[in-house]
Amino acid sequence: MDHFIDGIEWVAAIFIGIVALLVFASVMLRNLFSIDLPDGYEFGQLLLGILIFWGIAATSYRGTHITVDLIWANVNKNWQRVIDIFATLVLLFVVAVQTYTLFDKVTTTYAANVQTFGLRIPHWPFFLLAWLGDAAAVLLIAVRTYRLIFRPDLIAPPPDVMKTAE
């Protein structure tokens, strides 16, 4: 399972690289040669959407997303675990519903044959890649939930977590 999790993190990292390269190439071509990439802005938007959903998958399992730990930091380890399990269950529910609704967006975009303006490339494959990232997030959050409940020893704390009262 850890190799699968690492693979998802690599996919998110690859999409970060693709978006960065697209932006760099677009800026350089525009400023140096007065050339615009066909559909460059639209591809940037679509790839950024993919990146966001794969990023949700990568950060949700590790617990490295933005959190507010005002109460968590001031309770003992047992209550911290209860809060972690509750928060992860809420996250699992929200992302599962989001995944369900995003799949509807994939199918309606496919049926409507939505395409980019210049190159006429269909949008649905980009939406499908984003949906796959969201589905991976559901799977990883479910694994995290299972491990929090039954195997807390397999959950490593994020590297910058503050030490709290015992």
Task: Report which DSSP code applies to 157.
Answer: P
Question: What's the mean per-residue pLDDT of the chain?
Answer: 88
Task: Kindly state the DSSP code that residue 154 receives in the 8-state scheme.
Answer: G
Terminus-to-terminus CA distance in the chain, angstroms?
Answer: 31
pTM of the predicted model over 0.75: yes
- pLDDT in the model for residue 165: 44
Q: Which two tokens stand for residue 114?
A: 């939505």
Asked if the model's pLDDT at residue 64 lies above 70, the reply is no
The pLDDT score that the predictor gives to residue 92 is 96
Task: Write the DSSP string, 13-24.
Answer: HHHHHHHHHHHH
Q: What tens digit of pLDDT does each residue of 86-145 get?
A: 989 999 999 999 999 999 999 999 999 999 999 999 999 999 999 999 999 999 999 999
- Provide, for the chain, the percentages of residues in helix, strand and coil under a 3-state DSSP scheme, each rounded to the nearest 5: 75, 0, 25
Beta carbons of 60 and 91 less than 8 angstroms apart: yes
Which band of pLDDT confidence, cut at 50, 70 and 90, is reported for residue 12? confident
Residue 146 has pLDDT above 90, yes or no: yes
Return the exposure string of 7-22: e unless at least 16 CB atoms fall within 10 Å of the residue's CB, then b. ebbebbeebbebbeeb
Can you give the pLDDT at residue 46? 95
**CA 142 to CA 60: how far, in whole Å?**
10
Q: Identify the burial level of 150 via C-beta atoms within 10 angstroms of its C-beta, where 0-12 means exposed, 13-18 middle and 19 or more buried.
A: exposed
CA 126 to CA 18: how far, in whole Å? 13
> Of all residues in the chain, what percent carry a pLDDT higher than 70?
90
Backbone angles phi and psi of 146, in degrees to 5: -60, -45
